[in-house]
A and B are shown apart, each in its own frame.
Chain A
Amino acid sequence: MEESSFETILFPSHGAGGAGDGDGVGHDRDPAQPGYFRDLHLDRIAATATASRPDGQLGVHFSRRLHDADHITYRQEVFADLDRPAVRRAVQRFCDAMGEVRADRDRARDRRFPQEQQRWLLDAAVRYCAAVRELSDGLGSAGATARGFRALARFLERLLASAAYLELEADAARVAAALAAVRYRVHLRGLHVTVSSDDDGVDYSAAVLATFERFAQAPTDARAEERDASTQMDHVEARIVELVARLPGQASDALQALREFCVDHRDFVDPTVERFDREVQFYLAYLELVAPLRAIGLPFCTPEVGAGISDVHACEAFDLALATKLVPEGTEVVRNGFSLAGAERIIVVSGPNQGGKTTFARMVGQLHHLAAIGCPVPGTQARLRIVDQLFTHFQHEDALAHDRGTLEDDVVRMQEILAAATSQSLVITNEPFAATTLEDARFLGRTTIERMTEIGLWCVYVTFVDELSSLNHATVSMVSTVVPENPTARTFQVVRRPADGRAFAVAIAEKYGLTYPQLRRRLSA
């Protein structure tokens, strides 16, 4: 059964809402962002995605998790449609055009001379009509299948058939064509300005160019004049246009028609169309963010989500915030996966420092958040739970400023989390209880994991205490790895088993591809 109305591209009809309550830890600097946002570097992802989009409302949709699988699917459908070039092109062109419409309308309001204001308003109307019609045609011919786009398409069909729209479109086209046909001459001699109508004559600049074209060493490209819309009409220009409006015939008719158009059509933008333009930016912003990553082959997928699923996994995923930083630098992005099945709940990550442990933990948190706002997630495949709460427990530099000691602060924060968490919650914790003796860390870590197991919550626990990884049936051990031949080189792979030391026995010439068989291959390619 198709829904009959269209309100927003972000939620199914009558389904707006979906705030996640009680998330995070105490550091709520920005009330619009959950407490875990900064620890998981989701703040960077949101900031990068929204950087070129001044609409302050956009950030909310990046921070507010959805708790209803149907709402998530609604957005996943839109994302999937936008991955099809035809749909994406139609939407992108529409949004670009609406940006121009806004700019034109601002000019129609702000400019000094009526002749100038009127023309900008007409421009806005022409662009608006074209944009709406193109979007409707584009969605139709692209065969968009998302519920959101199908409802939008039906809405646009009705709008385009309405009398008000049809009149606007016809008037705008007629007046614009009349104005485009106006030609006039200006003769400047000292301070005398004379205006007359223009018939085709000789373009003297072209005549000069033609004389010397024989010396051109490369073909000269035709130079299109693009008028700078940022500068305004001055009073001499305004006076000239006034006189053009009095030239008998075509010119005066066209400018009279323009005045009438502006009286008849003041506010022509439909509010639902305007809202769609604003809200679809959420999708476009995310797709633009991931585009350079996809371009070099980093995978993204639509995750399978559900509140009740117990087997979760992700394959070849990565830290999105880190990847957006590394890819422009040309640095390789290491992909990692994880999988929890049956009674497994807690991934204990250990291994050498600087080996990618924190990045791995962050990645798991990001995947859950991104999936919950309906976005495609890094990885070739993912199956993730809808969690009721998401907590992070990271070491903060400013934690030292608290009057409680660092360790005490750690413990208190962990207590808060364990008090609030349920079996549906996800906790990402990075080296808790590091500011103490190994003996203490063992004890605190063991009791924490035991309590977590009792609650039945889901957790990634980064620690230097190896033995926590095999504490009970809920824990799974993963380790960061090094290059076996060179223990100082990290692979940034975090794997479920310890690495098996593969012997490094590659001849030095082989490294440079200079052995006979290698060279034969290279030279025959």
Chain B
Amino acid sequence: MKAHLLHPSEDVDWGTPVAPDGSLEADVLQDLHLGDLCAAMASGDPLIDDVARRILLGSAADRRVVQYRQAVLSDCIAHADLARELYAIATDAVASEKQVWSFLRTSPSGSLHRSVEVLEIFVTVLRRLRATVDAHADEVRSEGLVRLFDQVRDELDDTFFDAVHDHLDRLRFRDGVLLGAALGPGNRGWRYVLRTPDTRRRGWRARVGLGPRSSLGFEVPPRDEAGQQAVGALRDRGIALVADALSRSTQHILDFFTMLRAELAFYVGCVQLREVLVERGQPICMPELAPSRTVQCSARGLYDVCLAVRTSAQVVGNTVHGDGASLIMVTGANSGGKSTFLRSLGVAQLMAECGMFVGAEAFTSSAARRVFTHFIREEDEELASGRLEEELARMSRIADAVQPGSLVLVNEAFMSTNEAEGSEIGRQVVRAFVEAGVRVVFVTHLYDLASGLAGDPHVHALFLRADPDHPGRRAFELAPGAPLSTSFGPQLFDRLGAWGAAPAHVPASGAPEGGL
């Protein structure tokens, strides 16, 4: 019996650490500000935050799985209360198990006692789960939820609840402990099995088989303390067998609820994120994930969800017609929304790949399986040569990991050397990536790099330009346009009053851009 709401047949890997420090995923998490997205989904629930990170950054789902999740998500959005109630049931089960005192857990009878108590709690929660499923069975449409509901109704039937009741009764051992054994190493008893303690009213002799079977016995004298301990130890051996079985059983039930809780956490997180975005008047849509062998990337009203949940202002969306373009090159003015655009694209891609809705009016993109980010690091105020090496080392790690179809988002790379050299390195990297089937979105101030690629017949590129002073266009809105030879840096420099004054206006992302 498995929840399997995130994948039709496989378990999600809950064990491997997500985005450990120094990993490429950690860079993505940091560069795309995914923490804000997860926080909005979690709305204070640390488990949801954790699960959201895992699903966003964990191993990629294929398109079939994405559709499977989209269906479950649609059910959860349509019946938000049901999703929350199921999540509450699983959460209660896990929480109440933790409250049962694990004192004396090491002694078999202590362990048995605890397991019985936990089992009694679980029986109550399982009955509640069964009742909820019965009440809402007609509402769910998705393959994932329909199957879960069917399983609950099949497995948690009256026969099951009767059997549990029977076990709870037998486990009191009113007639002593009856063991079967063989002679093991050193002629000591081993391969103990617990024989059925029959609680039906039968003669004691018949129950322990003293009829036709011959038997021999002795009694440990009350003054023989060591002997009493030895009998106690043997008795514990018998109880340990069933205590172990029972504790594994309660662990199974706990595992089931833990899994159910984690899988539902993702959907409850999606429901909560949707509520935040709807409240702010931001559009959302179910994306279309095209096969990874195609090169598609088109969007209408694409905005950065992370920025939208962080700010109270309306966030500007962009329109992109990038189908067929393996490379999207973004140039133009500082504070023109270039980084925000880059993030919006990365966040939407990740959300789409894990079965979520995205922040756009429409969004179609080829499945990338993996997204990589290479953003300029503001904290690196070292010598230029050290910075360049650090940048190259990061790019090299990305090169180790990319596959055809991967999406690589580059923000102001190779600026820590002179323009000619930085451009040359950038050109070689971009060309090699694109020719290997990797999709690259590159934000740069390196005119030499951008114009060089514009003239490269081997690279199918879309050029976008930030042009904040363009009449008839909203601030931070990008438009197709070839790179311009002059940077907007000097203007900005003048506008901000050289090194003196604080910036009068920054994009809502709040992240300063490189190039100054």
The chain A residues found within 8 Å of chain B, CB to CB, are 107, 111, 115-116, 118-120, 123, 179-180, 182-198, 201-209, 211-218, 220, 225, 227, 229, 232-237, 239-241, 243-244, 246-248, 258, 508-509, 511-516, 519-520, 522-524
Contacts and interface: CB of A to CB of B under 8 A. Distances in A.
Interface in B343-388: 385, 388
B2 interface: yes
Interface stretch (B34-42, B46-54, B74-82, B227-235): B227-235
Contacts of A188: 176-179, 231, 234-235, 238
A187 B178 contact: yes
Interface string B158-185: 0010011001001000011111111111
Contacts of A212: 248-250, 252-253
Contact of B181 (A186, A206, A524): A186
Interface string B195-222: 1110000000000111001111111111
A208 B399 contact: no
B400 A185 contact: no
A208 B431 contact: no
A508 to B, nearest CB: 7
Nearest to A197: B213
Contacts of B220: 191, 193, 236
Contacts of A243: 216-218
A208 B180 CA distance: 17
25 contacts: A184-B180, A184-B181, A184-B182, A188-B177, A189-B177, A191-B220, A193-B218, A194-B217, A195-B216, A196-B216, A201-B196, A202-B195, A205-B194, A211-B164, A211-B167, A214-B160, A220-B248, A234-B230, A235-B226, A235-B227, A236-B227, A239-B218, A508-B385, A508-B388, A512-B389
Given A119-B186, A209-B249, A523-B436, A237 B176 contact: no
Contacts of A183: 180-182
A96 B148 CA distance: 52
Interface in B227-267: 227-228, 230-231, 233-235, 238, 241-242, 244-246, 248-250, 252-253, 255-256, 259
Interface stretch (B60-68, B390-398, B479-487): B390-398
Q: Which 9 pairs from chain A and chain B are nearest by CB?
A: A189-B176, A212-B249, A519-B432, A236-B230, A196-B215, A215-B252, A523-B436, A516-B428, A194-B217
Interface of B: 1-2, 11, 155, 160, 163-164, 167, 170, 175-197, 208-210, 213-222, 226-228, 230-231, 233-235, 238, 241-242, 244-246, 248-250, 252-253, 255-256, 259, 385, 388-389, 392-393, 395-396, 399-400, 402, 425, 428-429, 431-433, 435-436, 438
A198 B213 CA distance: 9
A205 B2 CA distance: 23
A241 B196 CA distance: 23
Nearest to A241: B187
Contacts of B186: 107, 111, 116, 119-120, 227, 229, 232-233
Contact of A514 (B244, B256, B395): B395
Contacts of A195: 215-217
Residue among B186, B255, B395 with the highest chain A CB neighbour number at 10 A = B186
A204 B195 contact: yes
B407 to A, nearest CB: 15
A520 B196 contact: no
A324 to B, nearest CB: 30
B231 A237 contact: no
B187 A115 contact: yes
B196 A207 contact: yes
Contacts of B389: 508, 512
A281 B184 CA distance: 31
B210 A194 contact: yes
A210 to B, nearest CB: 9
B421 to A, nearest CB: 9
A468 to B, nearest CB: 42
Given A188-B235, A201-B180, A232-B186, 19 more contacts: A111-B186, A119-B187, A179-B187, A186-B178, A188-B178, A194-B217, A205-B194, A205-B241, A208-B167, A212-B248, A212-B249, A214-B160, A229-B186, A241-B187, A243-B218, A514-B399, A514-B428, A514-B429, A519-B436
